[in-house]
Amino acid sequence: MSLKITVYSKSACPQCESAKMLLKSRSMDFEEIRIDDEAERLAFFEKCGPSVRQMPQIFINDQRVGGLAGLQAALVQLGR
């Protein structure tokens, strides 16, 4: 089953780099969308929900799994 993975990240973000390294280490393709502008990032957080305030935000098949910990949990659940 092919997964559509989108990683919303920002520059100089250790968790963002760790999430991307995890996906690369498992040879999983993903699209990265970098949001470095603070106003853009705040607008993005508003769309995600009131509890979202950090990067990265990762979506698998258009469903938000959260940050690095959410990605790790989702990959375990998917058997990846």
What are the boundaries of each domain within the chain? 5-77
Q: At 42, give phi and psi (nearest 5°).
A: -65, -40
Q: At 72, give phi and psi (nearest 5°).
A: -60, -45
| pLDDT digit string, tens, across residues 54-73 | 999 999 999 999 999 999 99
> Could you write out the DSSP letters of every residue in the chain?
----EEEEE-TT-HHHHHHHHHHHHTT---EEEE---HHHHHHHHHHH-TT--SS-EEEETTEEEESHHHHHHHHHHTT-
pLDDT at 1 over 80: no
| pLDDT digit string, tens, across residues 6-51 | 999 999 999 999 999 999 999 999 999 999 999 999 999 999 988 8
Name which CATH class applies to 5-77. alpha beta
Q: What confidence score (pLDDT) does residue 2 get? A: 86
